[in-house]
Amino acid sequence: MAAPLSLLDLPSDVLLSIIDILDAFSLARLTCVCKPLKALVDDFGWSYYLKSNVRPSYGLGKHRELLSSRARAKYDALVDHSWQRAHSFVARPLLRQWRGKLQPVMTVSEHRIVIGAGRSLYFYTFTSTPAVKLEAQINLENPHQHGRDITSLAILDDDGTNVELIAGFENGDIQGLDYVHKTVCPFQPPIDSLHQGVAVKSIKNMDDMLLSLSAGGDVAITNLTTADSSCIQLERKSWTSYLSLRSSTPFAAFGTTAISHALDIHYMYEDGLSPVASLTLGSSIQNARQAAVYAIASAPPAAPWGASPEIVVSGWYDGRVRCYDLRARTRTLSNDGHSTMLTPVMTVADPLRCEPIYSISSGGGSASHIAAGTARHSVVSFWDIRNPSRGWSVHAPGNDFSPVYDVVLESSRCYGVTQSRAFVLDYGPNVTQDAYPHVPVNNARDGLTPAGHGFYVTQYKHWSQKISGDLANDLLY
- Closest to 58 measured CA to CA, from 125, 103, 151: 125
pLDDT at residue 447, as a whole number: 61
Tell me the three state secondary structure of residue 215: coil
CA–CA gap between residue 365 and residue 429 (Å, rounded):
12
Low-confidence residues of the chain: pLDDT under 50:
287-289, 444, 465-477
- Closest to 400 measured CA to CA, from 423, 384, 382: 423
pTM of the model: 0.90
pLDDT at residue 195, as a whole number: 76
Measure Cα distances from 27 to 19, 38, 74, 196 in Å.
Answer: 7, 9, 10, 58
CA–CA gap between residue 313 and residue 285 (Å, rounded):
17
Tell me the three state secondary structure of residue 202: strand
Q: For 139-191, how does the pLDDT look when each residue is reduced to its tens digit (9 = 90+)?
A: 987 655 666 899 999 999 999 989 999 999 998 888 899 999 888 988 765 55
pLDDT at residue 134, as a whole number: 95
Pairing of strands 311-316, 293-298: antiparallel
Please, are residues 60 and 411 in contact by the beta-carbon 8 Å criterion?
yes
pLDDT at residue 88, as a whole number: 81
- Closest to 370 measured CA to CA, from 330, 420, 313, 417: 313
Q: For 382-419, how does the pLDDT look when each residue is reduced to its tens digit (9 = 90+)?
A: 999 999 988 999 999 988 899 999 999 999 999 999 99
Q: Please count the CA atoms within 13 angstroms of the CA of 252 that sit on its side-chain side.
A: 28
The type of residue at 400 is: D
Across 130-168, b (16+ Cβ under 10 Å) vs e yields: bbbeebbebebeeeeeeebbbbbbbbbebeeeebbbbbb
pLDDT at residue 191, as a whole number: 58
Tell me the three state secondary structure of residue 36: helix
- Closest to 383 measured CA to CA, from 266, 316, 300: 300
- Closest to 427 measured CA to CA, from 162, 78, 130, 143: 78
Please, are residues 229 and 260 in contact by the beta-carbon 8 Å criterion?
no
pLDDT at residue 464, as a whole number: 63
pLDDT at residue 144, as a whole number: 55
Tell me the three state secondary structure of residue 276: coil
